[in-house]
């Protein structure tokens, strides 16, 4: 379509002011934007499409062709058209990211890989089972956890990356919020940074990523791991997560990070209740309007056990993390159908199998072939 603005403008001042949310279901897409982001010119142009002003929000339903006609004379229509095009663009085949924690206290696999040789063998096994990314972490971010020192995180992470990187063909990601840890891991052979703080915890992180030209995952989290689950609240969780991620991508672009290096993560379980998590899963496809790969990490998380607990006797124990595979795979398949491109998991072989089936059953998807071919 003519008039579509560059993808980077989806994170510019105009898009940040509008905070567009688009539901592409049906012939006419439903759109909601912030009223304050609409100029008088926009309001006049969009009025013919049935624009309704409802306090701080404006809503309309229109066909893509109608937005295309308006784009030359409405900056808002131009942004909305670009976001709609992002939603309609076929997404890439999902990749499985194996979780390899070298921590004593991670919620699921804490203590399992403290032995260096065992950690390396697990990384090799993940690659053999079909993982296309391996995420190495040395600091637990489970609810209630405390941060570890930079020296301790380096001691845990760097030897593993140094030992594993030469022996696997798949990229290694470092799960850290500390720029010093990320830098040393990149020196050791890592090619991606997975930052649960989205670059907020360490002001040196985004400049480092820009300088090194590595890939980056930005995750949404309300609060910190220590306090994020005390009382998380949202007026509209999907809209607020999308707004946060849009702003963090804008910060990345300002720091000089290339757009094609960025992926986004809604942060399932990070400052969210059960209902918040479920709502994000239901509306995951809306995040594709940000035109970036979506990463989701929900493997073995507690919301799965909470859902199971509702159907068990009151005195039944809650399922431990290793017994949440069924719920993990069901959620993974849903995420694949709704556009997720990176799935962060503990059970690699089963997850690859589930992702393949979900991908094959999705509408109009190409064959499952290795990335890069």
Rounded Cα distance between 341 and 293, Å, is: 6
pLDDT in tens, 195-243: 999 999 999 999 999 999 999 999 999 988 887 788 899 999 999 999 9
Higher pLDDT pick, 110 / 270: 270
Residue 1: pLDDT over 50: no
- Domains of the chain listed by start with CATH number: 7-88 (no CATH), 95-361 (3.20.20.20)
pLDDT in tens, 106-119: 444 545 656 788 89
The neighbouring-strand residues paired with 95 are: 342
Mean pLDDT of the chain: 91
Active-site residue identified among 93, 178, 301, 324: 301
- Strands in the chain per DSSP E: 21-23, 29-34, 52-54, 57-62, 95-101, 133-137, 172-175, 192-195, 215-219, 262-265, 295-297, 342-345
pLDDT in tens, 305-317: 888 777 767 677 7
Backbone angles phi, psi at 320, to 5 degrees: -70, 165
pTM of the model: 0.92
**Rounded mean pLDDT of 132-153?**
90
pLDDT in tens, 10-52: 999 999 999 999 987 778 889 999 999 999 999 999 999 999 9
Active-site residue identified among 14, 212, 300, 344: 344
Mark whether 344 is an active-site residue.
yes
Residue with tokens 């989701």: 296
């Amino acid at each position: 379509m003519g008039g579509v603005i560059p993808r980077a403008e989806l994170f510019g001042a105009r898009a940040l002011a509008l905070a567009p949310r688009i539901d592409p279901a049906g012939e006419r897409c439903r759109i909601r934007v912030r009223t304050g982001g609409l100029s008088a010119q926009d309001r006049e142009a969009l009025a013919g499409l049935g624009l309704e002003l409802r306090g701080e929000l404006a809503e309309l339903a229109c066909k893509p062709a109608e937005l295309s006609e308006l784009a030359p004379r409405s900056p808002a229509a131009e942004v909305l058209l670009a976001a709609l095009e992002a939603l309609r663009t076929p997404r890439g085949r999902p990749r499985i990211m194996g979780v390899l924690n070298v921590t004593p206290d991670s919620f699921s696999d804490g203590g399992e890989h403290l032995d260096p040789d065992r950690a390396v063998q697990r990384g090799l096994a993940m690659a053999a089972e079909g993982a296309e990314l391996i995420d190495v972490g040395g600091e637990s971010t489970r609810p209630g956890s405390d941060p570890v020192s930079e020296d301790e995180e380096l001691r845990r992470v760097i030897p593993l990356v140094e030992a594993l990187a030469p022996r696997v063909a798949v990229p290694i990601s470092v799960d850290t919020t500390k720029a010093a840890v990320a830098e040393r891991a990149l020196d050791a052979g890592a090619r991606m940074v997975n930052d649960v703080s989205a670059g907020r915890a360490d002001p040196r992180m985004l400049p480092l990523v820009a300088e090194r030209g590595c890939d980056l995952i930005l995750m949404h989290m309300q609060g910190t791991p220590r306090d994020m689950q005390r009382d998380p609240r949202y007026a509209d969780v999907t809209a607020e997560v999308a707004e946060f991620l849009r702003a963090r991508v804008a910060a990345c672009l300002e720091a000089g990070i290339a757009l094609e290096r960025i992926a986004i993560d809604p942060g399932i379980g990070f400052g969210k209740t059960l209902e918040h998590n479920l709502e994000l899963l239901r509306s995951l496809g809306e995040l594709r309007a940000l035109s970036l790969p979506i990463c989701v990490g929900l493997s073995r998380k507690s919301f799965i056990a909470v859902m199971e607990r509702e159907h068990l006797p009151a005195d039944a124990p809650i399922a431990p993390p290793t017994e949440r595979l069924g719920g993990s795979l069901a959620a993974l398949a849903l995420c694949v159908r709704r556009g997720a491109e990176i799935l962060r998991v503990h059970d690699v072989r089963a997850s690859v199998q589930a992702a393949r089936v979900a991908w094959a059953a999705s509408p109009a998807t190409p064959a499952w072939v290795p990335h890069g071919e």
